[in-house]
Structure 1
């Protein structure tokens, strides 16, 4: 009796799984470089870091008002966590990244693998403890997060400046 292997060489069933489908859906885009003086760029970076912290914390606070099962973005939580850690010069163990994603470890590991395949994150060995690995944003991942958060910071700063101008005009009109 001959037994045929119906699995693909990589161990899959031959049907695309979640990782493969996610890879097919990966957008390809470039991210603009921001011009400006050193002071405005530093302010933008500080605000981007503040926004990343607030987005992450806000997602946890939201659970006080709305059921957490209504929302699920483990990749966003992972990216925010790794961005903040990079800006604070902290290393993030893979297990901590999984915990920070607020999903089961297998789900978080699957999304980490997708992010790795998209060159957004990379793992590195501990060096002292062979059982532990760290995960961090790649240069591309950091650039993507800086671009997104920086755009949000620019929009927020513009809105605040517009609000200040309106207040000044209202005070002058009185």
Structure 2
């Protein structure tokens, strides 16, 4: 399944940004590099805090995407059976898709985690029992279920990725 939500599939591919995305990235980078100079006395503290939160969120999301991609590359080199952790892949996918506001079906989640549907459902049962995910039935098709991270799941993943960033964990190719 090909889906560019996670970025390039290998080091030779690139990600193309729309004009809006490029402008936003440039604006955020300029603000971060400027250190928010000249904002004092203009409500600058609140604006600076918001900008830092947005930048921190983007760093967390970038790291989540990189972790997901590195796991896929690992499988390409060593095979699926050596690194079979569908629950972690599911959490990563839900974290990334949830940020976009997209719904993820159980079937799509199984595909992204490279695991059979029955295995995925067992893992979803476990993740749901741990209150990390929430399943909802489609209002249009009773046979279809969607999965999303719970507030607890999103908070724990965000804390995890922030701890990697703050701890100076280096992942090649990420400017965090």
Give the TM bin, normalised by the shorter chain.
0.5 to 0.7
Q: Which runs of 4+ in 1 moved over 3 A?
A: 156-159
Aligned pairs (5 A) from 1:41-120? 41-120=53-132
Please say which structure displays the higher CA radius of gyration: 1
Scaled by the length of structure 1, what TM-score is found? 0.66
Aligned pairs (5 A) from 1:148-159? 148-156=160-168
Q: Point out where structure 1 has 5 or more consecutive residues left out of the alignment.
A: 1-35, 160-174
Mapped contact 1:82–1:92 kept (Cα < 8 A): yes
Q: Which has the higher contact order (CA 8 A, sep 6+)?
A: 1
Scaled by the length of structure 2, what TM-score is found? 0.65
- Give per-residue Cα distances to partners, 1:38-67, cap 9 Å, x unaligned: 222221110111111111111111123223
Please give the alpha-carbon distance, in whole angstroms, between the structure 2 residues aligned to 1:137 and 1:64: 27
Paired residue secondary structure (2:167): helix
> How many residue pairs end up in the alignment?
124
Paired residue for 1:168?
Answer: none
